[in-house]
Amino acid sequence: MLVKWIRCTVVDRHGFERGQRKWTGLLGEPGFRGQSGGWSRREPDVAHVFAFWENRVFYDSFMARGHDRLAAAQSGMYRDMQVKLFEYRFDVKTGFEPHFTDADVVRVAHSRVHEDRGEHFSLMQRQVWNPAMAGSPGMLRGMFGEAPGHEFLVLSMWQSSAERGKYRPQGVERLSERAQTETDVAELTGDVVELQPLWTV
């Protein structure tokens, strides 16, 4: 599965949201698995969108044919767009599916890992972080993806922002030490995204 993560700063919120609803045009596209997104809790003008495709071939076919027509509805509504593609590697918790209707919040963590530490980083995600997240109240499901250049993405879906807060105090620092995160990670960025139901396709 291919995961597309888009992050941009919105300059016309109303117009952007109106345009976001046009992406229902993705329904019926070969290989399309789902899309949703929302607003950053930390930076209110920042929007995140997550799209899922069966594989790169279906995605490239859509980009060559139908993408520009759908994207035209949001022309001029945003700036500083960043687009990254990741290959799905494994679940966080179990049974990941790109469904958003039961989730309120998506937590996104993007890591750039030192060249010789990618394998260790992936192993620690499985052995240390996954069990901790899976045992947290309100955590529904998640996925771990990888991109060229030693980049990794962890997306986790949560039932409510209040529930997600319970994950923090359970010793993130202790988990980081156990996973040797500082040794593995060159750069880490993250955000908490309040999902917008009308953006879900």
What residue spans define the domains of the chain? 2-196
Q: Which of 34-43, 60-69, 129-138 has the lowest mean pLDDT?
A: 129-138
- Mean pLDDT for 20-33 is 96
Q: Which of 8-12, 29-33, 118-122, 178-182 has the lowest mean pLDDT?
A: 178-182
Annotation: CATH topology of 2-196: Alpha-Beta Plaits (3.30.70)
What are the pLDDT digits (tens) for 157-187? 999 866 666 655 457 788 888 989 889 999 9
Would you state the pLDDT for residue 12?
A: 97
Between CA 185 and CA 162 the distance in angstroms is: 28
Closest among 118, 101, 158, 153 to 134, alpha carbons compared: 158
Mean pLDDT of the residues in the chain: 93
Would you state the pLDDT for residue 101?
A: 92
What are the pLDDT digits (tens) for 97-108? 999 999 999 999
Tokens of 65: 């044919």
Q: What share of the chain is helix, strand, coil (3-state, %, to 5)?
A: 35, 40, 25
pLDDT value at 94 more than 90 = no
**Residues, the chain:** 201
Q: What percentage of the chain reaches a pLDDT higher than 70?
A: 95
Would you state the pLDDT for residue 166?
A: 62
Would you state the pLDDT for residue 90?
A: 97
Please state whether the predicted TM-score (pTM) of the whole model is above 0.85. Answer: yes
